[in-house]
């Protein structure tokens, strides 16, 4: 095999200082060392080293992780290596170490064996295999009593389970947090003859695709720990199971329980009586997600406006004064766009669903200048454009979250040019749209390789865009359901519709700084006021609006075209 390295050349790992034989990749040294394999230092006679498992010279492929024993012909890949080591350790677990672990973890010896728990005599450690939904070993956790387990470098955290065939046949699967909870619940289910399956995950907020595969076409029951106040502990798993599991229910622990209370605590509390334990556990199941109390709970836009008291001390400015300030610098024969833009900002200070507005117009029509005037307005956040990484960041930066979404709660996001987003590659564009769709609904959860971002947020948007938006079509959910569109100069229906606006902009070039300063001041003065009082809607007007809404819905449709 190309890039195969014979296990025979002396090797000292520069990172760990571990002395062994050349295998080409550091994680192989870590994995074999943690699995208990003893690499023999080469002597001057050049003898091939012998190791406990291979017990013979062998080959290791540095890219594919494939291995082969040159004495007996055994060969395989990374999962085969992990599986054989797990089996080797399981056979070694007997006698006093087995009894001590069963007593400490409050599960029986047959249960420990069913989950493949093993013993490393040399290190004095217990081993627990981690598997995927098919039963393939993807990692081996090593464990000392009353200490946190640690995995194998290069391994992948997937599931803890006893029998993949049992999982495949089950109609209902329990998902627990950690291997010991899974074992306790599995033991209770087997004691009562229940056909339900159990899998454990490394953490409630690190749900992997393997969880979705395990629950595919089944009823899922989530039994995670009673966590400290914070984000919903089952949110990531529920998101994974959406559209995959037939139904999802979660265990809602009583509020009296201490943080960290889990399945095994309940198992012990009921004296390891299976029927009593299961009866209590099932009584806590609910279809709703677990919503932990959030210390800094997001507030509604109206409450946010009151909190920004220092920004909202003014009485506002009469509408006509604002129009005059804009007309001084812009060609606005009809100031309707001013009403629409400021109306959208103020509407987002009222209770209710957020209002998202597209101001659609050709280049040079003045929409950018209108939006840029809001850059210093209270409760407004201005951006030239947006990216998915800016909206939700996957960077690990300690306690600080650089994401934009949580900073927008109760504010209005102003984007000068959304056209750049529409011209991105389809995959990138849809990623941004997906984030915005979730954000509009008020609650969104994102996962980045085990890092969970969960937000409850409500914000408005006022966005400038060209006719490029029409390419999305009326069937696109982002453009068709969430945004209101306002067209500048569209009523003229002529190519020269924006000619006068462009001409005015050209003349303003020498005084561009003064123009921006005055328009920003006008917008700030107009919006530095308390949230407006929601006007009462007369019943007659309400009926007219409902009639127009029904008429619009009847006319709305999309034509499917082959592409």
Partnered with residue 102 across adjacent β-strands are none
Question: Are residues 503 and 394 located together in one domain of the fold?
Answer: yes
DSSP for 298-327 reads: ---HHHHHHHTGGG--S----HHHHHHHHH
| C-beta neighbour count of 384 within 10 angstroms | 12
Question: Are residues 401 and 454 located together in one domain of the fold?
Answer: yes
Question: Are residues 211 and 276 located together in one domain of the fold?
Answer: yes
117 vs 135: CA distance, rounded Å: 14
390 vs 428: CA distance, rounded Å: 13
552 vs 74: CA distance, rounded Å: 70
- Over residues 243-270, the pLDDT tens digits come to 889 999 999 888 777 888 999 999 999 9
Which residue in 260, 187, 194, 186 sits closest to 224, CA to CA? 260
pLDDT at 38 over 70: no
Question: Are residues 220 and 361 located together in one domain of the fold?
Answer: no
Question: Are residues 271 and 317 located together in one domain of the fold?
Answer: no
DSSP for 459-503 reads: -EEEEEE-GGGGGG-TT-HIIIIIEEEEESSGGG-SGGGGHHHHH
Q: Which residue has the tokens 């050709």?
A: 362
493 φ/ψ sector (left φ>0, alpha ψ -120 to 50, else beta): left
Sign of CA dihedral 253, 256, 260, 264: negative
Can you give the CATH number for the domain in which 265 is found?
3.40.1360.10
Question: Are residues 34 and 92 located together in one domain of the fold?
Answer: no
CB 66 within 8 A of CB 72: no
Average pLDDT over residues 329-351: 87
124 φ/ψ sector (left φ>0, alpha ψ -120 to 50, else beta): left
Q: Which residue has the tokens 């006893």?
A: 162
Residue 552 lies in a domain: no
pLDDT at 97 over 80: yes
Residue 540 lies in a domain: no
Question: Are residues 374 and 498 located together in one domain of the fold?
Answer: yes
Can you give the CATH number for the domain in which 454 is found?
3.40.50.300
Domain boundary among 76, 98, 113: 76
**pLDDT (0 to 100) of residue 451:** 66
Residues 6+ apart with CB under 8 A from 247: 219, 220, 287
Residue 476 lies in a domain: yes
177 vs 442: CA distance, rounded Å: 27
What is the average pLDDT score of the chain?
A: 76
267 vs 275: CA distance, rounded Å: 10
Which residue in 128, 82, 123, 122 sits closest to 101, CA to CA? 128
Angle between helices 336-347 and 319-327 (to 10 degrees): 130
Q: Which residues of 293-320 are buried (b: 16+ CB within 10 A; e: fewer)?
A: eeeeebeebbebbeeeeebbeeebbeee
- Over residues 261-311, the pLDDT tens digits come to 999 999 999 999 999 999 999 999 988 766 544 334 444 444 444 444 445
Question: Are residues 57 and 142 located together in one domain of the fold?
Answer: no
Residue 199 lies in a domain: yes
**pLDDT (0 to 100) of residue 69:** 66
Average pLDDT over residues 178-183: 93
**Distance from CA of residue 219 to its chain's centroid?**
23
Partnered with residue 287 across adjacent β-strands are none
Question: Are residues 270 and 128 located together in one domain of the fold?
Answer: yes
Question: Are residues 350 and 473 located together in one domain of the fold?
Answer: yes
Residue 543 lies in a domain: no
Question: Are residues 171 and 232 located together in one domain of the fold?
Answer: yes
pLDDT at 5 over 50: no
DSSP for 85-136 reads: HHHHHHHH--HHHHHHHHHHHT--HHHHHHTT-EEETTTTEEEEEEE-TT--
- Over residues 142-158, the pLDDT tens digits come to 888 877 777 776 677 88
341 vs 323: CA distance, rounded Å: 12
The more confident residue out of 333 and 3 is: 333
64 vs 3: CA distance, rounded Å: 10
185 vs 266: CA distance, rounded Å: 10
Residue 553 lies in a domain: no
Q: Which of 141-150, 362-371, 449-458 has the lowest mean pLDDT?
A: 449-458
Q: Which residue has the tokens 């290791």?
A: 60
- Please give the tally of structural domains in the chain: 3
**pLDDT (0 to 100) of residue 233:** 64
Average pLDDT over residues 376-392: 87
pLDDT at 559 over 60: no
Question: Are residues 109 and 221 located together in one domain of the fold?
Answer: yes
CB 157 within 8 A of CB 207: no
pLDDT band at residue 396 under the 50/70/90 scheme: low
pLDDT at 397 over 70: no
pLDDT band at residue 467 under the 50/70/90 scheme: confident
pLDDT band at residue 42 under the 50/70/90 scheme: very low
The more confident residue out of 36 and 538 is: 538
Domain boundary among 21, 48, 76: 76
| C-beta neighbour count of 255 within 10 angstroms | 7
Burial (CB < 10 A; 0-12, 13-18, 19+), residue 393, is buried
Q: Which of 69-73, 130-134, 238-242, 364-368 has the lowest mean pLDDT?
A: 69-73
pLDDT at 532 over 80: no
CB 138 within 8 A of CB 82: yes
Residue 548 lies in a domain: no
Neighbouring C-alpha atoms within 13 Å toward the C-beta of 229:
5
The more confident residue out of 91 and 34 is: 91
Q: Kindly give the pairing relationship between strand 443-448 and strand 451-456.
A: antiparallel
Range of the domain at 33: 4-76
Residue 562 lies in a domain: no
**Token pair for residue 403?**
């994401």
CB 391 within 8 A of CB 359: no
**pLDDT (0 to 100) of residue 154:** 65
Backbone angles phi, psi at 127, to 5 degrees: -125, 140
């Amino acid at each position: 095999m190309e890039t195969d390295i014979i296990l025979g050349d002396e090797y000292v790992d520069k990172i760990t200082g571990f002395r062994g034989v050349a295998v080409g990749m550091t994680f192989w040294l870590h994995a074999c060392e943690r699995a208990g394999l003893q690499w023999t230092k080469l002597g001057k006679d050049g003898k091939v080293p012998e190791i406990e498992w291979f017990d013979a010279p062998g080959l290791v492929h540095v890219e594919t992780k494939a291995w082969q024993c040159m004495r007996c012909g055994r060969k395989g890949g990374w999962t085969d290596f992990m599986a054989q080591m797990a089996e080797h350790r399981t056979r070694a677990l007997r006698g006093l170490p087995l009894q001590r672990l069963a007593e400490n973890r409050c599960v029986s010896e047959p249960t420990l064996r069913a989950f493949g728990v093993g013993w490393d005599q040399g290190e004095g450690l217990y081993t627990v295999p981690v598997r995927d939904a098919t039963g393939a070993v993807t990692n081996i956790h090593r464990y000392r009593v009353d200490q946190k387990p640690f995995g194998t470098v290069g391994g992948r955290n997937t599931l803890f389970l006893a029998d993949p065939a049992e999982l495949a046949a089950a109609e209902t699967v329990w998902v627990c947090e950690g291997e010991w909870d899974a074992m306790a619940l599995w033991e209770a289910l087997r004691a009562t003859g229940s056909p339900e399956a159990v899998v454990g995950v490394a953490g409630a907020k690190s749900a992997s695709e393997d969880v979705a595969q395990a629950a595919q076409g089944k009823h899922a029951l989530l039994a995670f720990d009673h966590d400290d106040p914070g984000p919903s502990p089952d949110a990531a798993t529920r998101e994974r199971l959406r559209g995959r599991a037939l139904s999802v229910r979660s265990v809602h622990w009583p509020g009296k329980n201490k943080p960290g209370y889990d399945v095994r605590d309940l198992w012990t509390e009921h004296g390891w009586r299976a029927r009593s334990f299961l009866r209590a556990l099932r009584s806590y199941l609910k279809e709703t997600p677990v919503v932990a109390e959030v210390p800094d709970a997001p507030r509604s836009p109206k409450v946010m406006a009151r909190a920004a008291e220092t920004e909202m001390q003014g009485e506002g400015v009469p509408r006509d004064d604002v129009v005059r300030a804009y007309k001084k610098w812009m060609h606005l024969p009809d100031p309707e766009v001013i009403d629409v833009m400021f109306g959208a900002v103020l509407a987002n200070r009222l209770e209710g669903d957020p209002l998202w507005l597209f101001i659609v117009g050709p280049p040079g029509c003045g929409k950018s200048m209108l939006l840029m005037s809001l850059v210093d307005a209270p409760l407004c956040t201005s951006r030239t454009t947006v990216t998915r990484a800016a909206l939700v960041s996957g960077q690990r930066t300690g306690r600080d979250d650089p994401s934009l979404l949580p900073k927008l709660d109760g504010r209005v996001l102003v984007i000068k040019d959304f056209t750049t987003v529409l011209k991105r590659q389809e995959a990138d564009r849809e990623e941004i749209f997906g984030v915005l769709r979730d954000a509009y609904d008020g609650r969104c959860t994102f996962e980045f390789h085990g890092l969970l971002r969960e937000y409850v947020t409500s914000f408005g948007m006022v966005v400038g865009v060209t006719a490029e938006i029409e390419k999305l079509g009326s069937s696109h959910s982002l453009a068709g359901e969430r945004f209101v569109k306002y067209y500048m100069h569209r009523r003229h229906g002529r190519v020269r519709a924006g000619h006068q606006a462009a001409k005015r902009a050209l003349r303003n070039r020498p005084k561009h700084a003064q123009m921006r300063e005055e328009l920003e001041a006008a917008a700030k003065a107009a919006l530095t006021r308390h949230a407006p009082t929601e006007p009462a809607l007369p019943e007659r007007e309400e009926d007219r609006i409902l009639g127009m809404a029904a008429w619009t819905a009847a006319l709305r449709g999309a034509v499917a075209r082959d592409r």
